[in-house]
Amino acid sequence: MPSKKALSLTAAAAALTLGLTACGGGGGGDEGGGGEEPLQYGYVFPETGDLSHLGPPQISAAKYALSEINDAGGVLGSDVPDILSGDEANDAAQANDAANRLIDQDADIILGAAASGMTQAIMDSVTGAEVVQCSGSNTAPGLAAEDDTGYYWRTAPSDTMQGPVLAQQIAQDGHQSVAISYRADDYGEGLANATAEALKQNGIEVAANEGYDPNTANFDSVVGDITSADADAVVLVAFEEGVQIITGLVEEGVGADQMYGTDGLNDETLAEKVDAQDPGTIAGFQGTAPDNGQQEFIDGLRSFDEELEVLQFSGQVYDCGIVTALAAEQAESTDPTVFVEEIRSVSREGTECSGFKECKDLIADGEDIDYQGVSGPLNFDEDGNVTSATFQIYGYDDEGAHSKQDEITVDSEA
């Protein structure tokens, strides 16, 4: 059972000034067929800023989840309204402003933020208002444990789960020394350190493990630090700025088949960004990432949004939408202070089901359910972390085409 954070006197006074907005959200719509107000979703994703490439797949996945929910009759007899939007812009102040606007609009569930650092900026505002927050892309270790309210959940696995998967792949490829370069933020440092520890446990030397400012204008010094480490493999924990580092490494004679990325570089268009004239430059580059989702889901999402190119974290965001809606069905309430109690239970130790309609029908029949997400089994722990997740090994061929080469399911409770 989550403990609920009491509003401070200051927050309570602010709530009175705003007209006694309901702290649980969901106060603005007409009641549905079951007498409950419609379940209102909002999102805080990067629509602008240097992480804006992460926005489209997450926004589309959220809207696709809501369309699937409504195609199955909605939640408790009422269609889910259009999702409310908020731009995190990779700016803490702007992200928090966006979150507070959604709270004022009576959102019951806020999907996001995309970046772990932006979640740290908005978490207290969202969970303190007793609004459920679910992120499909927060991977920083320990992040869920920072929330003591029970209202924060994430369907993206912690980097403590991804690091060993990447280290195992590097070991299988026969490398003996690795230089790690990472963006100096919560995401980069957490995943770099988890990977470094796992490499050492595999008997592989970590020749360097250095952070860099992702907002710097020139990455020549980063490239120089990597090449001077004289390792036989390179790990890049980067987002789009990694394109400049990859290009610089290639120019210095480092082969793409010596390079490994993580989820931040799991981009179907990466080869074109590195070398539009010769996409095959990136042939042999590999990486690990939380799996984007089952093929049936990916086909459905691409049909829903035909212009979508990148799929990063789309399956995880979709699962956030579905699992929270199922919790409301199970609780027979769209009040987040009520259905938050059911989020963990619908993800484990029941009759396995997939898709909103199948699981909803089982709930109607009185079954306890175990929702099997499109991104993996989920199985939330008491802190709101997934304990079981599927990772993909991705790579690029001689023509620069991206593909999933393998997948590995990890169970941290096993």
Strands (E) across 48-101 are located at none
Domains of the chain: 9-156+313-380 (3.40.50.2300), 159-289+392-411 (3.40.50.2300)
Q: Which tokens go with 371?
A: 């929702």
pLDDT in tens, 137-179: 999 888 888 999 999 999 999 999 999 999 999 999 999 999 9
CA distance 58 to 55: 5
Contacts of 375 (CB under 8 A, 6+ apart): 136, 155, 290, 291, 292, 293, 315, 316, 318, 319, 389, 390
CA distance 98 to 105: 11
Contacts of 224 (CB under 8 A, 6+ apart): none
Cα–Cα distances (Å) from 85 to 47, 59, 100, 308, 312, in that order, read 9, 9, 12, 18, 19
pLDDT in tens, 35-76: 679 999 999 999 999 889 889 999 999 999 999 999 999 999
The SS3 assignment for 238 reads: coil
Q: By CB neighbour count within 10 A (0-12 exposed, 13-18 middle, 19+ buried), where does 305 fall? A: middle
CA distance 205 to 210: 14
H helices then E strands: how many in the chain? 13, 14
pLDDT in tens, 320-362: 999 999 999 999 999 999 999 999 999 999 999 999 999 999 9
